[in-house]
Structures are given as structure tokens and as C-alpha cells.
Structure 1
Amino acid sequence: MAAEVTRGTIETDVPARLDRLPWAGFHWRVVVGLGTVWLLDGLEVTMVGAVAARLTEPGSGIALTAGDVGIAAALYILGACLGALLFGQLTDRFGRKKLFILTLVIYIVATVATAFAFTPWLFFLTRFITGAGIGGEYSAIHSAIDELIPARVRGRVDLLISGSYWLGSALGAGAAVFLLSALPADLGWRLAFGIGAVLALAILLVRRHVPESPRWLFIHGRAEEAEQVTADIERQVRDSTGEELPEARGTLKIRQRKTIPLRMIAETAFKLYPKRAVLGLALFVGQAFLYNGITFDLGTLMSTFYGVEAAVAPVFLAIYALGNFFGPLLLGKLFDTVGRIPMISISYLGSAALTVPLALLFGAGALNQWTFLALLCAVFFLASAGASAAYLTVSEVFPMETRALAIAFFYAVGTGLGGIVGPLLFGSLIESGVAGNVVVAFLVSAGVMALGGVAELVLGVRTEQASLEDIAQPLTAREAG
């Protein structure tokens, strides 16, 4: 790590100026340019699941086994976890913009390479690198979005962006149905991966015009540049809305640094804010266990217990995905008005409570494929909002210098624990063919999700409509004080 360089102590009103801005075209550019990473992830995960059967067929041009497909999925998740940790640290050190450009380029290159994979080992490698790009996107993107979006709407915007994962999922399922049925066995799945690369290129063109976070700039000794970027954002907002901007109220005194030592970042989470660290872990593990366990195994569950054919399974997945999207879309505003603690608690505890009758009715054989899907959509209408709020929470409750790495850490740990154990548990119990065994998996998932809701009730932080600097004072501001 480069030697630490201490800069001067300054007083800035940049955070207040950004938070008081009315919604304008600039903010839409941020949402489209940065937020669509979730859509890409949903597209990727669903696409692989939808084309998995085709990859194992003779004439696919790659000769994978069912076990190989599982290995590729695990490597994608592993890549996402490691990519989040690596690029999260680099994002806090070198800036948001450099990393959200770099990680998207990595994703594009790896996805295109996947489309041209001709051997299992190359497919494994490209899926790992694709996951690393997506994992790096999470830390770079969420930190930049929360630092550029006004405080009063930060919750609903963050939830909508996270929820766009399910739009990508629905798009991936629909595209897979067409590509696999209308094209030759060795071509359709390759074009399916090409869709993600084309979409990412369009996003990259928009993303080039999203500025560096002024908050990151002034803390890292680039106060003049932070002032210029903020003034340019204000000009764009005035031109877009035709309104004069209200007066900014409040300043922040900070001690500038060139770099923030990794040791300080680690101490912040577990010594300065230990309760918030426990909260982040509980939220991430809970949602990852429930989500990955059910979503990754939904196709095999439908085929094993309801006889749904593989060619029809993407239709059920598309409906399931849209149900997930409507949760953040319709409930997002309440996270800014009613508040974070009540809404996150309701999302986690409510989805856990709805999972219990779903499990019991499933075990009793009282559901067909459509009533099962309807109840599942009800569960995940709430769970989706809660899962999105997990990312929002860890992005808000830690100081700015540690924000990207905090997102990366909790994502990696949550996915590594809940996101791997959940699918393994569901997969093994579904394979038994006994409905009562799957009921156990549902109830365990409900219990883990409920623990996240209890953690929010006990440890939750009121962050709605508050400045990020008021929620968690920057470490450099503590030093200046």
C-alpha cells in the first residue's frame, strides 16, 4: 500500500449542496448509468440457469455435464465474492469512477469470452471472471449512488435499483425461451450471453458521463476538483429544472488524506460500530440464504414436484422475477417516509411468516404449480424489498472512507454463508423427492430470515432522509474535530 499522505484540514459544504438538490435529469443519468448493474446480474444468473440444460445436450459445442454447470455457478458466486472484496478496497482507495468503469469493462470482456467458450475449463474461467466483475460493480456502484443521490429519496432509489435485478431476470428468462427454441443448439446459448455484453456496452456509454463522487474527492485531498464537480452538477440541475436552488445549510470540517489505511477501515466496522456490523451480517445472511436457496433450485423444485418441463420452466421464473420486482417498486417510498427500521423489520419478519403456510401447504400436497407460484410471489414481494434494503443499510451506516469495502465485505460474507449453504440444503432435500424434507428447508429459511428482522428491530439505525455524514461521521472529520 502506498505511504499515507496527510493533507490540510478544510471545511466544506459539498454534502449539504448535493443533498438539497431537486430531482433532475442528472439523477436519472446516475440511476441508468450506475444502477443497471443489478439488471446485468439478474440477466447473467437467470440466463445460465435457463440455458443449463442446453449446455449438456449433444451438439451444444461445449460438452458440459450437469455437474459442470453446478461448478460454473459456484465459480461465478466465488468470483463475485472475491471481486467485491478486491475492488471494494480499490474503490475506497482510487475513487468510485475509475472502478465502476473498470469493473464494467471486465464484465463485458468476460461475458463475450463466455459466448466463445469451447471447453469446460474456459467456460469455468470466464464465469469466474464475469462474477468478479459483477462483485466489483456492487461495491463501486452502491457507494457512488448513495453519495450522489439526495438524502430525502436515497432509500427508494436504492431499493428500485437493487430491485432491477429481477427485471434482468425476467428479461433473461424470456430471451432464453426464444433463443433456445428458435436457434441451433450450438448457437442459441452463445447469443444469450451476447445479450448481456451488448446491454453493458450501452450502459458504459452513459456511465462515462457520470462524475466522480465529490464526497470522495474532498476527503482525498482534491477539494478544488470536488468544488468543480459539485458546481457542474448544480448547473445541470438548474438547466434541467429551470429552478433556482435553495440555500445549502451546514458544513463539515475534515482532515484530508491521500489514502485511508486498511487497518483503520477494519477497526471502524468492528470496534467503532460493532452493533452495525452484526446488523449487516444478519441482514445479508438472512436474505442470501432464503433467496439463493429457493431461486437457484426453483426449476428443479417445479420439475420434481409439479412435473414442469424444462422448456416451460423459464415462464415460471419470469413470473417469479416480476413478483420480486414489484416489492421494491411499490414499497420503496415507504422506506423514506415510514422509516428504515419498521419497513426492514416488516419485510424480513413478514416474508418469514408467509413462508410458514407456504411450507405447510406444500408439504400437505395442497398446492398445484400455479398456487405454489402465487404464494411464492407473495413471500418474495416482501423479501425482495428487505434484501434490497440490506445493501442500502451497509452503504449508509459506515463512514464514507469505508463505504465501498463495507458493502463488499458484507456481500461476500453473506453470500458465502447464506448464499452457498441455502442452495446446498434445498438442492439436497429436493433431490430426495420427499416433500416433507423440502418443508424443513423452507422452515429453516424462514427462521434465518426472521433473525434478520429481529436484528433490525434491536440494532437498526434511523437513516431515512438523513445526510450520510450525520449517520456515520467521516473518519477524517473525527480527526479534524
Structure 2
Amino acid sequence: MSSIKTTAAPVTGGDTSLGAFFRDMNASERRTFWACFVGWTLDAMDFMIYPLVIGTLIALWQVDRGTAGLAVTITLLASAVGGWLVGYMSDRVGRVRALQFTILWFSFFTLLCAFAQNYEQLFVARALLGLGFGGEWAAGAVLMGETIRAEYRGRAVGTVQSGWAVGWGVAVLLQFVCYSLLPPEMAWRWMFGLGAIPAVLIFFLRRYVDEPVIAAKTRSADAAHRAKPSIWEIFAPNILKTTLLAALLGTGAQGGYYAVTSWLPTFLRSERHLTVVGSTGYLAMLIAGSFVGYVAGAWLADRIGRRKLFITFAILASVLVIAYTRLPLSNEVMLFLGFPLGFCASAYFSGVGAFLTELFPTRLRGSGQGFAYNFGRGLGALFPTLVGYLSATIPLSEAIAIFAVLAYGLLFIAAVLLPETRGKVLEADD
């Protein structure tokens, strides 16, 4: 059996600027970076379409908020299963091949959403879409984490994470265009239809993106010794504590994010009395802050370490969510407050991918990272539904704040209990 090692190497010297990793990349690394960045961007676009059209569907199909929020939850629950399975698949058949499969999968089911005739059909399509949605992150994050050298890993993987804000922005722009040109009952269908575009990325992945050497070497060694990993191996006694704490980290990171972003468009319209088009500027400010937060978080992940990044922004995001949703602010003040809210609610995400890559050994990295992140996504998936149901008895803004702060508390606890991994060198020895 191959001997798998993950050794620590302190980050010393070198160029600490945000763009240093990109300047030093070779051609293969650049292709991998752009493939993962675009894939994550389009993944975000597909997911965020539903929160943007949820108000239309509530009115069109006469469903209550709790039921409408359930479609967000089922997508995230399915993504928990898909992320774990695709992560395991990437350990068995390769990171690139797993990534190709997931992009094709979620593109197809996004297109299928456009043809739903009722809420039940859309619910099923979103559930199936979730399997690929979770898998795309699992395969892509491991692919990036293994391709980029240790001293740049936080910045590179974190910068790819910023593609989520870009994808969210594309979805909002798509909403603005579709709702400006078409009646609402047609606009939401066109948004889902255009969400099938990610399938085009498959052709680029097939031709230009290489499998990480460390992953290919480890799989070859395991195959030679007939020792391919089991899907349950991440629960072995020697790694169980890491798996559980990493899953807690994923729950906190994503529970807060989805509690806020899934319902914020509806909050702006129902409690701040903005129209769909009128809320675009508020969402744009939030998204701009989110993008800058991802990029700044990527730099901070390498600069101050993963744990300090999580702890700092868990606190700041809690404070800003409460201020945005509960303080009696004017719409003008809220417009500008959206930038720091987006910044703090996104910055910590930039450290998650690199951190999980460094916590697990190479032969289990796909399944371990896929499970931890997507188990967190699965539990975090309950938050949008709980927010929706709780908002039947208390204001939506209060429900959002309660569950967001609860989630950020979990992120804080997990960060305190897990070790710092900044600068770890990943190795696989035959």
C-alpha cells in the first residue's frame, strides 16, 4: 500500500501579494484555475436563479413561503449526497473526470426546471440538480488544492471561490434583463433555460485540463496494491474527529450564508417594499461586497491563516446581519450597508477549500472534503426552510437573523477546535 503523508511546512518569505500565485503559474495550472473558476461561477448562477424567482413562483403557483423555501432545502440536501459521492468518485476515477460529469449533470437539470408545469415538478428537478451542484464543488476544490503549491494554495483556491459572487451577479443581471423584457410568467422560465450554458465548459475540460500528479500517482499505487479507498474510510478512528469537526465547520459556513442569501431578495420586496427591478441595485451592492470579500479572504487565508480568518469573519458577519435586518435603517443606508455585509458573509469562504484539502490525506481527500463540505451544506440546507416557516409567526428579517447568527456560532466553534493547516505540503509516496 502507498504511504500517504501530509507534512507541515511553514510559510516564510516569498511574494505575499494576492496575484503572486497567478503570475507564477505554468500553462497547465492556469488552465485548471480558469476551468474551476468558470465552473464555480456557472454553478453559482444556476443555484441563485431560484432565490431570485421565488417571489414570482409563490404568486404564480400559490405556495406559501415555507413550501417555497423547501425547494432550496432539497437542492442543498441533494447536494450533500452528491458532493460526498462525487468526492469519492474523484478518489476512484480522477478529479477531472468527476468534474466533467457533475457540470453536465447540473446543466441538464437546470434546463429541465424551465419546463416545470407546477411546483412539484420543479421540486423534483431542483433535487436532481442538487446532486451535480454539490459534486462540482467537491471535484473542483480538490483539483485546485492539489494543483497549486502550498504557499499559494489559500489565495488560488480562495480566488476560485470568488467565482460564486460573479455567478450570483450574472444571475441578477439575467433577472434584470428577463424581467425587463418579458412578463414574469415567462421570465423565470428563460432564466432557467439560459442556466444550461455551463455544459459548454465540458469541451474545455476534456481537452485542456490535466489530472493532478499527486492524485494520479496515489490512485496508481492503490490500484497496484488492490487498496482502493472505501467510501466509509473517512469514519475510521484515526480520522473520525477531523471528519466530524470539518463537517461542523461546513455547517456553520453554509448555514449562515444560505439563511441570508436565499431570502434576502424576498426580504427586500416584502419588508422594504422594493420591486424586482428596484431591488437590483441593493443586490448588486451586496454582490460587489461579496466578490471583494472572497478576494480579500483568499489573501488573508495565506496571510493570517485559516483559523483566524474563520473566527474573525464569523463575528463580523453576525454583527452585520443583525444590523442589516433588525435596525430601523433607511433604504439609502441599507443600500450602502449591503457592501460590508456581502464582504463579511463571503470572506471566510475563501479559506474553506484550501483548509479541507489540507486536513485530509490524498487517498481520502475527495471523499473527506466532499463529505465535510456537503454534509455542512445538507444541514445548512435546513436553514432556508426553517427561516421560511418561522417567518409565518415573526418578521422575515428576524427569522433570517436568528438562523444566520446560530450558523456563524457553529463556524466559530469548529475553527477554535481544528488545527491550523496553512503551509502544509501534500505528498504521496509509493
Instruction: Give the alignment partner of residue 324 of structure 1, picking from 282, 287, 290.
Output: 290
Q: Give the letter aligned to residue 405 of structure 1.
A: S
Once the two structures are overlaid, the 10-residue window that deviates more, 329-338 or 102-111, is: 329-338
Give the residue type in structure 2 aligned to 1:142: A
Per the alignment, residue 231 of structure 2 pairs with: 262
Residue equivalent to 1:23: 25
Equivalent of 2:314, from 326, 339, 348? 348
Shift of 1:276: 2.9
Higher relative contact order at CA 8 Å, sep ≥6: structure 1 or structure 2?
A: 2
Match status 1:163 vs 2:162 = yes
Correspondence for 1:231: none
- Give the Cα separation in 2 of the matches to 1:354 and 1:403: 34
What SS does the corresponding residue of 1:36 show, helix, strand or coil?
A: helix
**Aligned-residue offset at 1:69:** 4.0
Letter in 2 for 1:468: L
Which of 423, 433, 451 is the equivalent residue of 2:384? 423
Distance 2:201 2:28 in 1: 15
Secondary structure of 1:220's partner? helix
1:233 is matched with none
Task: Tell me, yes or no, if the aligned pair for 2:73 and 2:381 is still in contact at 8 Å.
Answer: no
Q: Taking structure 1 as reference, are residues 278 and 371 closer, same or farther at Cα in structure 2, changes over 3 Å only?
A: farther
Q: Secondary structure, in 3 states, of the residue corresponding to 2:195? A: helix
The aligned residue for residue 203 of structure 1 is 201
Q: Deviations over 1:213-248 (max 9, x none)?
A: 22122112269xxxxxxxxxxxxxxxxxxxxxxxxx
Corresponding residue SS for 1:262: coil
Cα 1:103–1:186 shift into 2, 3 Å: same
How far the C-alpha of 1:38 sits from its partner, in A, is 2.2
Does the CA contact (< 8 Å) of 1:300 and 1:430 recur in 2? no
Instruction: Please state if 1:453 is matched with 2:412.
Output: yes
2:426 counterpart letter in structure 1:
L
Matches within 5 A, 1:164-313: 164-185=163-184, 187-198=186-197, 200-208=198-206, 209-221=208-220, 257=226, 259-267=228-236, 271-313=237-279
Contact 2:298–2:351 (Cα < 8 Å) also in 1: no
Contact 2:138 2:370 in 1 (8 A): yes
* Residue of structure 2 in register with 1:245 after alignment: none
1:147 to partner: Cα distance: 1.0
Whole-Å Cα distance in 2 between the matches of residues 120 and 66 of structure 1?
11
Q: Post-superposition shift, 1:169?
A: 0.7
Match of 1:103 in 2: 102
- Asked whether the equivalents of residues 284 and 414 of structure 1 are also in contact (C-alpha less than 8 Å), the reply is yes
Structure 1 residues 118 and 64: alpha-carbon distance in aligned structure 2, compared to 1, 3 A threshold:
farther
Shift of 1:120: 4.0
Task: Give the match for residue 390 of structure 1.
Answer: 352
Task: Tell whether the 8 Å contact from 1:9 to 1:256 is kept in structure 2 after alignment.
Answer: no
Report the CA distance between 1:278 and its aligned residue. Answer: 4.3
When residues 159 and 9 of structure 1 are mapped into structure 2, their CA distance, relative to the original with a 3 A threshold, is closer
- The structural deviation recorded for 1:43 is 0.9
Measure, in 1, the Cα distance between the counterparts of 2:418 and 2:333. 36
CA–CA distance in structure 1, aligned partners of residues 264 and 102 of structure 2: 30
Match of 2:17 in 1: none
TM-superposition CA deviations, 1:144-178 (whole Å, max 9, x none): 11111222211011111112111111110111111
- 8 Å CA contact retained: 1:279, 1:459: yes
Aligned match of 1:228: none
Paired AA for residue 204 in structure 1: I
Deviations 1:385-441 (A, max 9, x none): 212322332222111111111222122321222331x32343344444548xx4475
Of 340-349 and 391-400, deviating more is 340-349
Counterpart of 1:32 (choices 26, 31, 34) is: 34
Residue matched to 1:368: 330
- Give the match's secondary structure for 1:272: coil
Counterpart CA distance in 2 for 1:120 and 1:430 is 20
Q: Which structure 2 segments of 5+ residues have no match?
A: 6-20
| In the alignment, structure 1 residue 414 sits paired with structure 2 residue 373 | no
Q: CA deviation at 1:179?
A: 0.7
| Alignment partners' CA distance in 1, 2:133 and 2:402 | 31
Separation in structure 1 between the aligned mates of residue 320 and residue 183 of structure 2, nearest angstrom: 42
Q: What amino acid is aligned across from residue 366 of structure 2 in structure 1?
A: A
Match of 1:468 in 2: 426
Cα separation, 2, equivalents of 1:9 and 1:412: 27
Query: What runs of 5+ residues in structure 1 fail to find an aligned partner?
Result: 1-5, 12-18, 224-253
TM-score, normalised via structure 2 length: 0.85
* 1:220–1:256 CA contact under 8 A, matched in 2: no
Structure 2: distance between partners of 1:414 and 1:73: 15
| Matches of 1:108 and 1:447, distance apart in 2 | 33
Q: What amino acid maps onto 1:260 in structure 2?
A: P
RMSD: 3.1
Once structures 1 and 2 are overlaid, which stretch shifts more, 128-137 or 306-315? 306-315
- 1:9 and 1:255 in contact (8 A); partners too: no
Matches of 1:257 and 1:172, distance apart in 2: 46
Structure 1: distance between partners of 2:411 and 2:189: 39
Bigger-Rg structure (1/2)? 1
Contact kept in structure 2, 1:292 and 1:419, CA below 8 Å: yes
Distance 1:170 1:42 in 2: 9
Q: CA 1:260 to 1:373, structure 2 compared with 1: closer, same or farther past 3 Å?
A: same
The one-letter amino acid of 1:72's match is A
Distance in 2 of aligned mates of 1:48 and 1:24: 38
For 1:429 and 1:122, locate their aligned partners in 2 and report how far apart those are by CA, in whole Å: 25
Q: Is the 8 A contact 1:85 1:405 kept in 2?
A: yes
Matches within 5 A, 1:129-168: 129-168=128-167
1:220–1:257: 8 Å Cα contact kept in structure 2?
no
Aligned partners of 1:383, 1:371: CA distance in 2, in Å? 18
What's the counterpart of residue 125 of structure 2?
126
Q: Write the distance in 1 (CA, Å) between the matches of 2:4 and 2:120.
A: 53
Code of the residue aligned with 2:133 in structure 1: it is I
Structure 1 length-normalised TM: 0.76
Does the Cα contact within 8 Å between 2:91 and 2:363 map onto a contact in 1? yes
- AA at the equivalent of 2:203: L
Alignment of 1:54-65 (within 5 A): 54-55=56-57, 65=63
The offset of 1:182, in angstroms, is 0.3
Asked if the contact 2:87–2:138 (Cα under 8 Å) also holds between the matched residues in 1, the reply is yes
Does the aligned pair in 2 maintain the 1:348–1:450 contact within 8 Å?
yes
Are 1:112 and 2:111 counterparts?
A: yes
Q: Counterparts of 1:124 and 1:353 in 2: how far apart (Å)?
A: 34
Deviations for 1:67-106, whole angstroms, at most 9, x for unmatched residues?
6644433332222122112222222122112211111111
